[in-house]
Amino acid sequence: MKVAIAVMPDGSRIYPGPFGHSPAYAIYEKNGEVWRRLELRTNPHADFVGQGKRERMLALLADTELWVGTRFGNRHGPPVPHRTIQARTVEEALARLEAETATKEAGGGA
C-alpha cells in the first residue's frame, strides 16, 4: 500500500491544516511489515483555492492509494480513500494507521 501523508517541509512533522494545503507529502509504501519512505513530494498547489483543486490533487498524488492527514477541508470529502489521524510526527501517524488497520483486521472496526 502506498500512502501520502500531509507533512511540514521538514518531512517529519505532520501538517496541522487541511490536507490539500499541506506544503509537502511524505510518500510511504508498506512492504510486508515495514514502512519505507519513498520520497518527500512538494505540493505546488498548497496555496491554490477554487475550482480545479480536486483535479490538481488527484494528479499530484495519482500513484498513492491512501491519503493521511489531520483535516480534510473539502465539503464534498476527498476523492480517494483517506484517514484522519491526529498525530505530530510521521512515525506517530504510521503507528496509528497500523493500529487502526490491526483493529479492523481483527473485526473491531468498521
* Within-domain flag for 110: no
Domain that residue 96 falls in: 2-105
User: What is the Cα–Cα distance from 49 to 89, expressed in whole angstroms?
Assistant: 26
84 pLDDT higher than 60: yes
Provide the edge-to-edge strand list for the sheet that holds 82-84.
34-42, 24-31, 2-7, 66-69, 82-84
Reading the block at residue 17, the C-alpha cell is: 491544516
- For residue 51, which amino acid is it? Q
* Within-domain flag for 8: yes
* Within-domain flag for 10: yes
Question: Lowest-pLDDT range, 34-48, 59-73, 78-92, 96-110?
Answer: 96-110
pTM of the model: 0.90
| Cα 91 to Cα 5, 47, 50, 71, distances in angstroms | 11, 26, 32, 18
Q: What percent of the chain has pLDDT over 90?
A: 70
pLDDT at 54: 86
* Within-domain flag for 24: yes
CATH number of the domain enclosing 48: 3.30.420.130
pLDDT at 75: 63
pLDDT at 86: 94
